[in-house]
Chain A
Amino acid sequence: MTSEKFAPLDPVIHSPVRLAVISILASASQAEFNFLKKATETTDGNLSTHLARLEEARYISIEKTFQGKRPLTACILTRKGRKAFEEYLKALESYFPHPQGGEENPR
């Protein structure tokens, strides 16, 4: 297998925390900041930095509201973000060795 066969991985998603956030948002229509923090096992500051990077790339949108006096930050995957995640999964697939003469990517 040569390196030409490998699809490039999107640098915006290619980070453990950002990949984790995108994976959650791809299976949910909306997720709160605290849920993301707990799931990704990261700190407030670190998560905020990664969310800002994803928002900058327009992969997610962030909505800030209040529930009573408590501020709520909800993250939503945008259409562009979903497409980027799908491309990322396809690119990741290209790194798997395909059996010679067999089916591609047996599941």
Chain B
Amino acid sequence: MNDQEIRQEIQIIKSMIDKTKRATAESAALFVMWGVLISLALVGSFILGRLKLYHWEWLNWGGITVIGWIASVFYGIRHQRTTPVRTYIQNAGRHLYFACGAGFLLVGLIFPAIGVYSHEAISILISCVTGIMFFVMGGIFDWPFLKTVGLGWWAGAVGMSLIRPEQRTLVYTFLFIAGYLIPVIVLKAKFDRERREA
């Protein structure tokens, strides 16, 4: 076997791994859906705050969480059926979405509903779960930018715990735009580019 043949073999292996990676680029549809749902919850939270109906906060966040969770499960099942190739990274990502979905459900709906803590803590705890989601995703996709976003969410959670509950919606809205909408737009552009190249 000569040098040329060895290089050809290495080239085949590299090329196939690249093709597999590009074919499995996510559509970011789930991120966009969660973004829209959280935006609606933020608006709901703001309205409830203005009307002094704080005791309905759990229903606002909980309802959004349940809708998002159900939609994510359906999307996951459909995606699994139609995808031409499945990778271990995708499996890890799916488990992460599921775990965070369960986390949102617990901290946003179940715990406040049974009185474990006040509704005022929901946005702080949801920020913690969102931080975990972005940080781990950054590790899975080997993208430091997402890890930084995760750190931003945790810093935001600490910041919100230091201010008055009625100011939290405003901080959370800023955090959401800087730490979710912007990364999602960047992520979607990246995935769309990878899909076009595939």
Chain A contact residues, CB within 8 Å of chain B = 6, 9, 16, 19-20, 23-24, 26-32, 34-35, 39-40, 67, 89, 92, 95-96
Is A27 a contact partner of B87 (Cβ separation < 8 A)? yes
Number of interface residues of B (CB under 8 A): 23
20 interchain pairs, CB-CB under 8 A:
A16-B12, A19-B13, A23-B13, A23-B17, A27-B17, A27-B87, A28-B20, A29-B86, A29-B88, A30-B86, A31-B20, A31-B86, A32-B84, A34-B84, A35-B84, A39-B16, A39-B19, A67-B81, A92-B10, A96-B6
The smallest C-beta distance from A70 to any residue of chain B, in angstroms, reads: 11
Q: Which residues of B contact A20 (CB under 8 A)?
A: 12, 15-16
User: Smallest CB–CB gap between B11 and chain A, Å?
Assistant: 10
In the complex, how many angstroms separate the beta carbon of A6 from the nearest chain B beta carbon? Answer: 7
The reply to whether A28 and B1 contact each other, CB–CB distance below 8 Å, is no
B39 contacts the other chain (Cβ, under 8 Å)? Answer: no
A67 CB contacts on chain B under 8 angstroms:
81-82
- CB neighbours (8 Å) of B20 from chain A are 24, 27-28, 31, 39
Give the A-binding residues of B (Cβ under 8 A). Answer: 1, 6, 8-10, 12-13, 15-17, 19-21, 23-24, 81-82, 84-88, 91
Picked from A6, A23, A32, A96, the residue with its CB within 8 Å of the CB of B16 is A23
- How many Å from the CB of B2 to the closest CB on chain A? 9
Give 6 A-B pairs besides A16-B12, A27-B87, A39-B23 with Cβ atoms closer than 8 angstroms.
A6-B1, A20-B15, A24-B19, A28-B88, A31-B84, A35-B85
Instruction: Find the A residue at minimum CB distance from B84.
Output: A35
B196 to chain A, nearest CB (A): 16
How many inter-chain residue pairs (CB < 8 Å) link A and B?
61
Please indicate the chain A residues that have their CB under 8 angstroms from the CB of B21 in the complex: 27
- Please tell me which one of the listed residues B1, B8, B85 contacts residue A31 in the complex, with CB atoms under 8 A apart: B85
Shortest 6 CB-CB distances between A and B: which pairs?
A35-B84, A23-B16, A31-B85, A32-B84, A30-B86, A23-B13
Give the residue name and chain of the A residue nearest to B8 (CB): A16
Contacting pair B87 A28 (CB below 8 A): yes
Does more than half of chain A's interface fall in helix, strand or loop, or is it mixed?
A: helix
Minimum CB–CB distance for A87 against chain B, Å: 14
Contact partner of B87 (CB less than 8 A), chosen from A29, A40, A96, is A29
Interchain nearest-CB distance for B175 vs A (Å): 35
CA distance A26 to B82 in the complex (A): 20
When distances are taken between beta carbons in the complex, the residues of chain B under 8 Å from A29 are 86-88, 91
From B8, B10, B16, name the one whose CB has the most chain A CB atoms within 10 angstroms: B16
